[in-house]
Every structure is written in structure tokens, then in C-alpha cells.
Amino acid sequence: MKFFDNHKKLFGTATIMFVGLTLLVAIIPAINNQQKNRPLPDAEEMSPEAVKGKVVFIANGCVACHTQQVRNVEMDKTWGSRPGLPADYAGIKRTDFWRNTATLMGTERTGPDLTDIGNRQPSLDWNLVHLYNPRIVVKESVMPAYPWLFTTREQASASDVVVNVPEAYKKGKEGTVVATEDALHLVAYLQFLKQTPLPGNNAPEFLYTREGKETVGSGNTPGEMDGKALYIANCQACHQANGEGLPGAFPPLKGSSIVTGNNLQLYVDIILNGYDARPEYGAMAPVGANLGWTEHEVAAIINYERSNWGNDGEKVSPEEIKEIMEFIQQQTK
Amino acid sequence: MKIPFSLSILMLVAGVYPATGQTMSPSDFTFHSAKTWIILAFIITIILLVASVALREKVAALRKHYRIKRKEENRTELEDYIHHLNSSQIETILKCRGKKKVANLPVVFIFLLGILNVNIAAAQSGNRSLLGEGGIIITLILVLVPILVGLFLLFIKITNALNRQKNELRLKEAEKLSDYLKELPEEADTALKKRKAALDYSLTHSELSGNQPAEDVKGLLNINRSAGLPVVAVKKKALPRPHIDPALSRLVLWYLACATFWLLFGTTVGEYIGIKFVAPDADHLSWLSFGRLRPVHTNSVFWGWASLGMLGLGYYVVPRVSNAPLASMKMAWWALYLINAAVIAGTICLMVGINNGGGEYREYIWPVMLLFGVGLGLTLMNYIRTIAKRTTREIYISNWYIVAAVIFTIVISLAAYIPYWQNGLGETIIQGYYMHQGVGMWFMLFTLGIVYYFLPQQLNKPIYSYSLGILAFWTQILFYTLIGTHHFVFSSIPWWLQTVAIVGSAGMAIPVIAGTTNFLMTFKGAWYKINDSYTLPFFLVGIIFYFTGSMQGTAEAFRFTNLIWHFTDFTVAHSHLTMYGIICFFLWACIYAVVPRLTGREAPQITIGAHFWLALIGLLFYSIPLMYGGTLRGMMWLEGKPFIESVTMMAPYWLWRAIGGSLMWLSHLFFAYNIYKMLTSKYTVDIREAAIRKLQEQTNMESSPVT
């Protein structure tokens, strides 16, 4: 064609076509979304520590392995109670003069999604130990260790946050491991990462629901749930696969008087609402409450913990647990 | 970084065992089942049966032979033997008959054979009734083994004896034949002589060529008298071409040399982070941690290796197909400096922890990317000004692709780095657009442009269809621009935008099929050239991956496949199949085609072959396990299995990835060596050239040596 024998016309046409399509599928939708969406009314303001922690998160390229998006498909229900919405990201603005906005949605899930990690794993102690070397608490983990976020002191001062690192992981360094500001900020950021509840109760539904098989956290099934799977997914990171916990950080469940004893009410309360009564151990998060567990999950977990690692406790029924849960709820009100 | 390399290798090897254990489902074979024993007994019976039948046949044949020989009617048979004698045999016979001597044949004793009555069925008695008990089974085996070995030996003995018997008979017959030969009348000699003459007849080998000495008047023959036995298949040498402006040569070579450096650097980093999946505690240095090195790897192979490689080849192609000199050599050099500076600065920034915000391939902060952008701007001006000076009327299709790629990439970079539409979800929408346009409009479009020049050149025939190329060009712009957001299917970006991306991905089938058809049809009728070319195999692999890799991308974009594959290592495998399988293989093909023309030196074929095979096999080892493991991982997530189980499940596949990655990395060492050989080879005296020069000096002639 003669038209295309003119380089100005040829490249002009191609450019116009490309720029036009770019406007249609990228620039205009981007501007549109930027103007239209507003953060949720209940969205928490980021603390200055969390803001600094996010910078640490970006600098270390954590987004390479951790997504921050709960897709509207059933399989993502593990990562949050509702699908992500444009409003969840609406408050994120340009980081600074040098750096672009970081929604950190990510494209790889080599490690877990972090959208709701603040609810799932809020423990400062656990996060610090895990950052020092993930394999202290999760043996199978392939996450990098971040020892440069910590220093070793001969004597920790009162203001220092001491991290209980087993000797084997200290690589011959003497002294106590202390978290730097960066580590504390990073944990502050991780603790900040929580799904904001929606006003009213009209969250969009998850698609591609699994038929037949019930999922963790959706509770209305009769019959027994898989206590082992629940334990692996929600408890094992601290209490470990062998139920022995980590000395100085997380208490053992093996032979624990709470697990095998008679005070079922305390046991259920800890699972639902967490525990911080023993100074020698880190605080436990309200795991059950965060994940909206019903009596079925709680009973399955209790039965798993009571019948493993040599524990020999009485079996409980969901009905029993339901009663206790209702009682606890009345008490806290 | 004191992780011993050997240690990681050891860990790789140690992990192979779980790998095989995990991937293969064990068969249900067991020695505890009665079925197994029945089958074994059955097999033994069959073997014994076959053996007995074979023996029976042999004995029968022997007995038949005896019976026939008893009748003395073998006169005609002896004549038959004479008829089948060859020339030298006839000669010996004639000699013997001439001497009238009796040749005594040795006499061999006959071994008499006792008749063996092998009761085969007896051997298998009893092993069917007593099954199930371990002790009895073991006893049976212990008993059965010597019996079977004995039977086997017996069979061999019998066969040998029968064979001896047969030879004995043949010797007897030979004796008869020699007697017969002796008794033949005199006139038989003439007949035999005649027969010998007939057998000895042969052509003179000069019936067609005549008796003139051969002469190569047209210089078609080039015989190497001292050729050794080649280790690799001998491929054609690059043809000497008309001279290229040495300044342009130098420029292109510098681009390619820098590209090679970044390939080595980037894939060394990639190899190391691949190993980190297997050995996460390999080092504990912040600069070398996974999250910081991953973008260092991707960005240096993108902006360092592939971009500089493409631009360098572009600086060769654009002036060539425009039939005009490059507009500005100075600008081209500046572009090279700026892009190298961008990759160096970007790498350092990422390693110290200065990251633009984590969007893939957008990790360089804007001042760094600005260097790259200015480099591209200079290149664009240079290319367009060269094309404006062209002496051909039309613009060859290569230039369509190349210049469009540069324009689009500038647009893409502006869209990605201008801050006015980057807040909230805006960032995500732009990110989806950017990361895929970067791949498809920069690397793919530019590389296609180069291939449209080098593939026909290497095949020495025009491109199959110009219009298919044009169709692919416009449809690529139309569909590819739409597909970016398919990286965020099911995320909170607008549903309609996701659907547009999926439709666009399906539409990509048009340019991909058009392009593939065009390339393959160009090959048509010239497939035989692959055998003696070392560039064409690279092209072919590139074409195959262009089709499979791109269509895989389309398949991945659909909603259901997104459920299984998104977020898993399947994506990583896909990006390597395309960036490596398509872009790298095409670039290597073109580099091996062009550099010998610029320098007049070629790389050793054996190292080019090593590069090709290691890269190809490495890529397959890398990507297939990741695709398989990625699929399994997605399925586990769909089933709601605990996340950590999906991590341990991936371990063997990550190991295979590290192994494949090591092979790929090794192939790059060969490539770098080849580049080195093509750029600089040691000066050796060319005897012919030197002799001519000497002669010229002696005769005081002032002409330059012939090249």
C-alpha cells in the first residue's frame, strides 16, 4: 500500500492506534478507579511505625513471594473473610517523591497471602523469631532469613526487644538477639495488615465454591471436621508439628494440663480469644475469633490435640463446645 | 557468601530421591500375592516348553538329514555346488587339478549322543499348590533355581552336540564333493576357466569419464586434503559478505558484547536465586537476599541482555534494509552508554533496597528508568532518521516492527512512570498493562522485526508472505494492548477490564498463528538447510516456542485456568518458555548470523552446539517440572489443603528447576566463549596470504592483498 510507504504515516498510524488503546484499557480506567474509589469508613489509619515498616517490606522485595489480594474465588477464603474490594486499595498513595504507589498486590504466592496476616498471626514474638530465621518455627519454610534486621548484644537493656533465638540458629554468636527498629516497624506493618470489615453485611460472594466438601471456617456442617488440617494451618506455626512448642517462646501442648485437664472452658476460651497469662511465653492471638470458628472447628482442634503426641484426653462433642462458647460470649458481653 | 558450590550440588543430588518418589506412583506389584506366583510359574512353564520344542525341531532336522543321505542320488546336487563356486575357488580347484594331487580332508570323529529323554514337565511339579506361605515360597525358589540353571545348561549342551553332529555331516559331504571334483573329465577345465573369466569381468571405471585428466575450470571444488575426523557435524561457514562500515561494525559489536555481559550477570543471579529455593540459608546478606536479587535478575536480563542485544541487531538491520547509512553514530553510542548506566545503577539500587514499589519489571526508580528512556528516545530518532534517508521506496517489514517497538516502549514507560494515574487500583491497572506490554510490545515486537530480516537471509530466500507479516503486525497491536490485566483476574480491578483482557488473550491466536505460519512456510523447501547451518536450529526452536509459548499464554488467561495456575510457579515456567525460548533463541540465532559477518571470525562449532543443546535441554528441565508442580500446587489450593503442605510438595520441582537453570547457565558460558572467539581470535599466519605478500614485496607491487 502506498500509504504505508511513507514512514511518517505508517508509524503515525501505529502510534495513534497504540496510544488510543492504551488510553482505553489502561489510563482512563486507572484515572476512573483512582477518582471513584474511597477507603472504607472503618479503615484504620496506618501508624507511623507501620508506614516505616511498609518501606522495609518494599525494600526487601517481599512482594516477590507474598500477594496481598483475596480474590473472589472460594480457594482464597483461606486468606480473608471476604473478597478484596477496590476500596481496600483506595487509600494507598504514592510512597514518596522517588517511589511509586505500592499496592503490593503481587503476582506470585510462593509464601502465604498477607492481606489479613494481622488477624491471622499478630504475635510480635512469633513474627520476630520467624523473621530472624523462618525455619526456627516452620521447618519446611523456604523463606529467606532476615538476621540483618537484628543485632546481638551482650546485655540487653530494658528498652530492647529481646528475641528468643535457639542457640543452633545464632551461628556461634554470643549474647542476646535484639530486634532493630526496622524489624519492629516491619512487624508493626504486618500487624496492621487486616481486612477492614464492611459496613452492613453485604460482602460480595466467593465464586467457584467447592461442592460437597466443606471448607475451613464455614461451619454449618454436621459431622467431624479435619482437626489435623486445621491444626497444621492455624496452630502448627507456634506449637509445632510435634506439639512441643518452642522453649522460651511458645508453650508445649504435649502433656499440657490445659489440653488434657478438665477446665474445658479455659481451653475453649484460649482457642477463641487468645492467652497472655504466662510471662515466659509470647502472647497468643485470638485465633478462633479472628477466623470466625464455630463449635465444629473448635471441637475438631481439641480432639486432635487431646489424642496426639501421647496426650490422652477425653473426646468432646460440638454440642458440648457450643454450650461453652455461648457461655463465654455472655461473660464477655 | 561462603556457601560452597559443592554443597548446593550435593543438596541438589540428595533431593533427587524424594523427587522420583514423589512423581512416580508406585505399581501395586508384590511378592505376597498368589497371582504373582502363578504368573511366574506360568512364565517358567512357557520357557521350558519353548526349549523342548526347539530341541525336538533340531533332532528332527538331523534325522531327516540322515535319511536323505542314505539314498545315493546327490549327483545333481554336487553339480549345483560347482555352479555356485566363486572365482578364487575355481582358481584353487584348477590349480589342484593341474597338480593332479589328492587333497586329503581331515577326518573328524563322530560323537555319539545318548538319547536324552528330558521330562520337562517334571520340573514344574508342585509349585502351584503350595502358595502363600513365605517359608515355602523361599524353599521353592531355592529348589527351583538350581533345577532351572541345570535345565538351561542341559539345553546348551544338547544344542552344542547337535551342532557338532551337523558339521560332521557337512564335512562328509565336502569329502564327497572333493572326490567328485577330482573325477571330473579334462573338458570340465575349459568350462571352469570360462566361468572364471566371466566372473572376473569388470568395468574399466573410465567408460563415462574418458581418459582425460580431471580439471576444475569453474573453481567449484574445494578439497581439504588434511581433514581430520570431525567431532561434530560439519556445518557451512558464514559466507564472506560485502564490506560493512567498520564504525558500524564496532558499534554493533559493542552492543552485543554488553548484552552478553548482562546475560551472564543476570542469569548468574537467576541461577543463584533458583538455588535459594532449595537452600534458603545459602547466605544471610541483605544485598543478596531473595527479594532483592529477584528483580536484579529480571531487570538485568530484560534491560541489559535482551534490550541491548535487540538494539544492537537493530542498528545492523535498520540501515541495511533502508539501504542507507545510519543517521548518527554518536547518538547510537550515547544510547549504549545510557542503557548500560541504567542497568548498573538500577542493579545497585535494588541491591541496597531502593525499589520503586514492587511492581514487576517496574522496580527501577524513575531517575534510573529515565536513563533507559532517554537511550530509547535517541535510538528512535536515529532509526527514523535513517529510514527517512532510505533509498528503497517501501519500508521493509522489519523496520515496521522495530520502530513500532521503540515507539510503543516509550509510550509504555511514560504510562508506567507518570504519577497522575497511579493511586490505589490505578497502580494495579497500569501495572498489568505495563508488565505485559513490556514483554509483548518491546521484546516480542522488536525480535520479530529482527527475525523478519535474518531468517530469510539465513535461508537465502524471501519471506513466505509479506501480507501475513502485516496482518500479524496490526493484530498484535490490536489484541496485545488489551491483555495486560489478565495478570489480575479475580482481583478487585473492574470485571469488564478482566474480560477484555481475556478476550484479547484469545485474539492473540491470530498474530501468533500468522507469524508462525509465515516463518514455517519460509522454511518450506529449505528444511534440508538446517542440517548444515548452525543458526537455523536456533531459529527453529524460537519459532516452535513462539507458537507454543504464546498459545500457552492464551490458555493461562482463561478464568478457570487462572484458578489453578495463577500465583503458582506455572507462571514462572511460562515466562521462561517465552522470554528464553522465543526471545533468547531468536537473539542467539541472529547474533551467530551477524557477528561472523562483522568480524570475519567464527566460533568453534562444537561450542555453538554445546550452547544450543544445553540451553534447550536446560529450558525443558527448568520449565516442565515447574509446570507440573505448579499445577499440583494449584490443585492443592483448590482442595483447601494447608498452605505449608503445598510448599513441601514443591521441593522436588524446585530442585529440578535449579538443575535446569544450571544447564541454561552453563550454556551461557559457552555463548560468552563463542562471542569471545568471534570477536578476538589469536593471530595466526595465513601461509597463502603471507606467501602472496612476500611475492608482491619481491616484485615490488603496491596492491593490497586479496581478501
Measured between beta carbons, which residues in chain A are less than 8 angstroms from residue B355?
58-59, 61, 99
The reply to whether A162 and A239 lie within a common domain is no
Higher pLDDT, A320 or A216: A320
Q: How many CB pairs under 8 A join A and B?
A: 273
pLDDT at A230: 84
Q: What distance in Å separates residue A332's CA from the closest CA in chain B?
A: 32
Give the residue from A22, A77, A189 with the most B CB atoms within 10 Å of its CB, the best one to mutate.
Answer: A22
Residue B19 pLDDT > 70, yes or no? no
The reply to whether A64 and A185 lie within a common domain is yes
Q: Is A99 on the interface with B (CB under 8 A)?
A: yes
Instruction: Please tell me the least confidently modeled range out of B73-87, B94-108, B143-157, B273-287.
Output: B94-108
The reply to whether B310 and B251 lie within a common domain is yes
Q: Is residue B684 in a domain?
A: no
Q: What range does the domain containing A279 cover?
A: 227-332
The reply to whether B395 and B349 lie within a common domain is yes
Q: Is residue B653 in a domain?
A: yes
* pLDDT > 70: percent of chain A: 95
Q: Tell me the mean pLDDT in the region B244-272.
A: 95
pLDDT at A259: 86
Residue B178 pLDDT > 90, yes or no? no
The CATH number given to whatever domain includes residue B458 is: 1.20.210.10
Is A86 in contact with B568 (Cβ distance < 8 A)?
no
Give the span between the Cα atoms of A308 and A297, in whole angstroms: 17
Q: Which of B393, B474, B487 is the closest to A107 by Cβ? A: B487
- DSSP for B91-141 reads HHHHHHHHHT-PPPPPP-PPPP-PPP---HHHHTTTTTTS-S-HHHHHHHH
Work out how many domains chain B is built from and give that number.
3
Instruction: Please tell me the least confidently modeled range out of A294-308, B216-230, B368-382, B386-400.
Output: B216-230
Note the pLDDT tens digit of each residue in A133-192.
Answer: 999 989 889 999 999 999 998 888 888 888 888 888 887 778 889 999 999 999 999 999
Give residues 203 to 232 of A whose Cβ lies within 8 Å of B: 207-208, 210, 213, 215-216, 229, 232
Q: Is residue A217 in a domain?
A: no
Give the residue from B360, B410, B421, B502 with the most A CB atoms within 10 Å of its CB, the best one to mutate.
Answer: B421
Q: Is residue B552 in a domain?
A: yes
Note the pLDDT tens digit of each residue in B604-649.
Answer: 999 999 999 999 999 999 999 999 999 999 999 998 888 999 999 9
Note the pLDDT tens digit of each residue in B461-511.
Answer: 999 999 999 999 999 999 999 998 888 999 889 999 999 999 999 999 999
The reply to whether B608 and B584 lie within a common domain is no
The reply to whether B541 and B665 lie within a common domain is no
Q: What distance in Å separates residue B267's CA from the closest CA in chain A?
A: 17
Is B491 in contact with A102 (Cβ distance < 8 A)?
no
The reply to whether B54 and B43 lie within a common domain is yes
Residue B133 pLDDT > 60, yes or no? no
ipTM: 0.84
The reply to whether A241 and A280 lie within a common domain is yes
Q: Is residue A301 in a domain?
A: yes
Strongest mean pLDDT among A87-96, B136-145, B652-661, B674-683 = B652-661
The reply to whether A8 and A28 lie within a common domain is yes
pLDDT at A271: 87
* pLDDT > 70: percent of chain B: 84
Q: Is residue A218 in a domain?
A: no
pLDDT at B35: 72
- Which of B581, B601, B621 represents a domain boundary (last residue)? B601
pLDDT at B135: 60
Is A98 in contact with B365 (Cβ distance < 8 A)?
yes
Q: Tell me the mean pLDDT in the region B525-550.
A: 93
Q: Is residue B240 in a domain?
A: no
Give residues 77 to 96 of A whose Cβ lies within 8 Å of B: 78, 83-86, 88-95
* pLDDT > 90: percent of chain A: 38
In A, minimum Cα distance to B499 occurs at A25
The reply to whether A63 and A109 lie within a common domain is yes
* pLDDT > 90: percent of chain B: 53
The reply to whether B74 and B99 lie within a common domain is yes
Q: Which of B294, B394, B654 is the closest to A61 by Cβ? A: B294
Higher pLDDT, A202 or B24: A202
Residue A295 pLDDT > 90, yes or no? no
Is B289 in contact with A61 (Cβ distance < 8 A)?
yes
The reply to whether B480 and B363 lie within a common domain is yes
Higher pLDDT, B673 or A205: B673
Q: What is the mean pLDDT of chain B?
A: 84
Note the pLDDT tens digit of each residue in A27-80.
Answer: 999 999 999 988 988 888 899 999 999 999 999 999 999 999 999 998 998 898
The reply to whether A60 and A115 lie within a common domain is yes
Is A64 in contact with B295 (Cβ distance < 8 A)?
yes
Higher pLDDT, A179 or A247: A179
Q: Is residue A58 in a domain?
A: yes
Residue B215 pLDDT > 90, yes or no? no
Q: Is residue A202 in a domain?
A: no
Which of B558, B453, B577 is CA-nearest to residue B506? B558
The CATH number given to whatever domain includes residue A284 is: 1.10.760.10
- DSSP for B185-204 reads -THHHHHHHHHHHHHH----
Residue B684 pLDDT > 90, yes or no? no
Q: What distance in Å separates residue A319's CA from the closest CA in chain B?
A: 25
Q: Which of A15, A58, A93 is the closest to B355 by Cβ? A: A58
Q: Is residue A72 in a domain?
A: yes
Which of B120, B119, B160, B420 is CA-nearest to residue A34? B420
Q: Is residue B18 in a domain?
A: no
Give the span between the Cα atoms of B689 and B696, in whole angstroms: 10
Q: Is A101 on the interface with B (CB under 8 A)?
A: yes
Give the residue from A110, A114, A137, A180 with the most B CB atoms within 10 Å of its CB, the best one to mutate.
Answer: A110
Residue labelled with grid coordinates 517496574: B362
In contact, A92 and A170? CB cutoff 8 Å: no
Is B357 in contact with A100 (Cβ distance < 8 A)?
yes
Is B427 in contact with A233 (Cβ distance < 8 A)?
no
Q: Which of B423, B482, B568 is the closest to A25 by Cβ? A: B482
The reply to whether A62 and A151 lie within a common domain is yes
Q: B92 pairs with which residues across the strands?
A: none
* Alpha-carbon separation of residue B340 from B326, B346, B358, B605, B619 (angstroms): 21, 10, 22, 30, 27
Measured between beta carbons, which residues in chain B are less than 8 angstroms from residue A145?
280-281, 284
Q: Is residue B404 in a domain?
A: yes
Measured between beta carbons, which residues in chain A are less than 8 angstroms from residue B471?
none
The reply to whether B439 and B542 lie within a common domain is yes
Q: Is residue A300 in a domain?
A: yes
The reply to whether B513 and B595 lie within a common domain is yes
Higher pLDDT, A328 or A105: A105
pLDDT at B132: 53
Q: Which of B284, B423, B642 is the closest to A145 by Cβ? A: B284
Strongest mean pLDDT among A221-230, A235-244, B9-18 = A235-244
Q: Is residue B152 in a domain?
A: yes
Q: Which of A29, A61, A208 is the closest to B429 by Cβ? A: A29
Residue B110 pLDDT > 70, yes or no? no
Q: Tell me the mean pLDDT in the region B167-171.
A: 87
Give the span between the Cα atoms of A134 and A145, in whole angstroms: 6
Is B407 in contact with A64 (Cβ distance < 8 A)?
no
pLDDT at B9: 43
3-class secondary structure for A130-198?
Answer: HHHCHHHCCCCCCCCCCHHHEEEECCCCCCCCEECCCHHHCCCCCCEEEECHHHHHHHHHHHHCCCCCC
Measured between beta carbons, which residues in chain B are less than 8 angstroms from residue A91?
424
In contact, A267 and A258? CB cutoff 8 Å: yes
Which of B507, B357, B380 is CA-nearest to residue A25? B507
- Which of B135, B163, B197 represents a domain boundary (last residue)? B197
Q: What range does the domain containing B663 cover?
A: 603-675
The reply to whether A140 and A89 lie within a common domain is yes
Helices (H) and strands (E) in chain B, counts: 26, 0
Q: Is A116 on the interface with B (CB under 8 A)?
A: no
Q: What is the band of B682 on the pLDDT scale with cuts at 50, 70, 90?
A: low
The reply to whether B285 and B413 lie within a common domain is yes
Give the span between the Cα atoms of B694 and A291, in whole angstroms: 92
Q: Which of A31, A73, A213 is the closest to B421 by Cβ? A: A31
Work out how many domains chain A is built from and give that number.
3
- Which of B578, B601, B624 represents a domain boundary (last residue)? B601
Q: What distance in Å separates residue A249's CA from the closest CA in chain B?
A: 21
pLDDT at B620: 94
Higher pLDDT, A225 or A193: A193
Q: Tell me the mean pLDDT in the region B167-185.
A: 84
The reply to whether B630 and B597 lie within a common domain is no
Measured between beta carbons, which residues in chain A are less than 8 angstroms from residue B639?
210, 213
Q: What distance in Å separates residue A26's CA from the closest CA in chain B?
A: 6
Is B292 in contact with A61 (Cβ distance < 8 A)?
yes
Is B426 in contact with A60 (Cβ distance < 8 A)?
no
Higher pLDDT, B634 or A280: B634
**Terminal CA-to-CA distance of chain B, rounded, Å?**
51
Sign of dihedral through CA atoms A292, A297, A303, A309? negative
pLDDT at B31: 55
Give residues 237 to 276 of A whose Cβ lies within 8 Å of B: none
The reply to whether A231 and A274 lie within a common domain is yes
Q: Is residue B231 in a domain?
A: no
Measured between beta carbons, which residues in chain B are less than 8 angstroms from residue A64?
290-291, 294-295, 358
In contact, A297 and A230? CB cutoff 8 Å: yes
Q: A153 pairs with which residues across the strands?
A: A176
Give residues 287 to 316 of A whose Cβ lies within 8 Å of B: none
The reply to whether A54 and A86 lie within a common domain is yes
Q: Tell me the residue ranges of DSSP E strands in B436-533.
A: none
Q: What distance in Å separates residue A299's CA from the closest CA in chain B?
A: 19
The reply to whether A147 and A69 lie within a common domain is yes
In B, minimum Cα distance to A26 occurs at B430
The reply to whether A112 and A165 lie within a common domain is yes
Measured between beta carbons, which residues in chain B are less than 8 angstroms from residue A236?
644
In contact, B368 and B349? CB cutoff 8 Å: yes
Q: Is residue A320 in a domain?
A: yes
The reply to whether B186 and B327 lie within a common domain is no
